[in-house]
């Protein structure tokens, strides 16, 4: 009723039975004319896309964390499972204690992302000591619904260990 009164106030024409038959104004709010189901459907579709993107972002955030966990556990199969088919994988021979932080990435579509994560790598030797700092430059791909590393490029700086003569 209120919408009809608004149309009449803006120049709509009514027939004798008080039915809306013509609208003269071009500035009508067409969103209000649509059935609620269309509006709700569009809003739900938008919410679904947002939820999928949030889940994708969380899955990508978990990749470096899982990598650090598998590296410390020396679980090579677990580490390999984080990589997409055809990805390059290199495992250094260390007793690593990886500490990751400053993970940043950007979505490049619904199945690609790229970013970086900083790390400090500790090694045993009288207790864990930081031996390297650096950054991984990562490309992520969604493969069969699961986010994985497509490429993982390492840039690291070795730090002098205490007692090495460089401290």
Residue count of the chain, please give it. Answer: 167
Mean pLDDT calculated for residue range 87-91: 70
On whether the CB atoms of residues 90 and 76 are closer than 8 A, the answer is no
Q: In the sheet that 96-107 helps form, which strands lie side by side, from edge to edge?
A: 96-107, 112-123, 129-143, 146-158
What pLDDT, on a 0 to 100 scale, did the predictor assign at position 121? Answer: 78
On whether the CB atoms of residues 127 and 120 are closer than 8 A, the answer is no
Q: Which residues fall within 8 angstroms of residue 13, CB to CB, at 6 or more apart?
A: 20, 21, 22, 23, 24
The whole-model pTM stands at 0.62
Q: Is the pLDDT of residue 12 over 60?
A: no
Mean pLDDT calculated for residue range 91-99: 69
Helix (H) or strand (E) holding 51: helix 36-72
């Amino acid at each position: 009723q209120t919408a009809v009164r608004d149309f009449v106030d803006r120049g709509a024409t009514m027939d004798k039975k008080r039915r809306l038959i013509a609208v003269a104004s071009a500035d009508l709010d067409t969103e209000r004319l649509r059935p609620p189901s269309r509006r709700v459907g569009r809003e739900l579709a938008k919410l679904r896309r947002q939820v999928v993107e949030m889940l994708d972002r969380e899955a990508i955030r978990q990749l470096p964390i899982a990598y650090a966990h598998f590296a410390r556990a020396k679980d090579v199969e677990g580490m390999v499972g984080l990589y997409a088919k055809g990805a390059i994988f290199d495992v250094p021979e260390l007793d690593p204690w990886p500490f990751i932080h400053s993970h940043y990435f950007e979505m490049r579509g619904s199945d690609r992302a790229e970013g970086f994560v900083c790390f400090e790598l500790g090694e045993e030797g009288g207790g864990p000591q930081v031996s390297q700092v650096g950054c991984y430059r990562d490309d992520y791909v969604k493969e069969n619904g699961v986010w994985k590393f497509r490429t993982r490029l390492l840039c690291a700086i070795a730090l002098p260990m205490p007692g090495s003569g460089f401290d």
